[in-house]
Amino acid sequence: MPKAVAHAVKIIAEAEARGSGATLEVLHALDLIPKGTPDVPLIQAIADGSHDRAVLITTDKSMRTRQHERAAFTETGCIGIVLRQGWNHASMWDRARYSLLWWNAWIETVRNAKPGSLWECPWSQRPKKLKAF
């Protein structure tokens, strides 16, 4: 997800959570680590223990098959949501629109997900329950 989209979602998510007592922090990977950092240290940085639930939303579908990355999810308890098909090729505006459209499905998945699990999110205008990898 582009940094600008993550930051736009952050503003909306924080506004929605205000007054609810819910703690939610939306960050882009580059807010945590330098560009070019391998995926395992990224997963570890996200799931550093400072949050009840840590989630990585990514378009890197290979994370589910690379054993060392899959192991990092399991070991850290980080939950992964893999954006499939058109997410990588859409305009920034469409990715922002779809991110907002899918936001509640992502939150519901994370709320009920087993730590370390991976989920797939299709490119669709009809949000639905995510499927586990």
Number of separate domains in the chain: 1
Please tell me the distance from the alpha carbon of residue 88 to that of residue 110, in angstroms, as a whole number.
22
CB 24 within 8 A of CB 112: no
Q: How many residues does the chain have?
A: 133
Amino acid at 80: G
Q: Are strands 79-83 and 55-58 parallel, antiparallel or unpaired?
A: parallel
Range of the domain at 71: 3-132
pLDDT 10s per residue in the chain (133 long)?
Answer: 899 999 999 999 888 888 787 777 889 999 989 999 999 999 999 999 887 789 999 999 898 899 999 999 999 999 999 999 899 999 999 999 999 999 999 999 999 999 999 999 999 999 999 999 8
Give pTM, 2 decimals: 0.92
Instruction: Give a three-class secondary structure readout of 78-106.
Output: CEEEEECHHHHCCCHHHHHHHHHHHHHHH
73-107 in b/e form (b: 16+ CB < 10 A) is beebbbbbbbbeeebeeeeeeebbebbeebbebbe
pLDDT value of position 25: 83
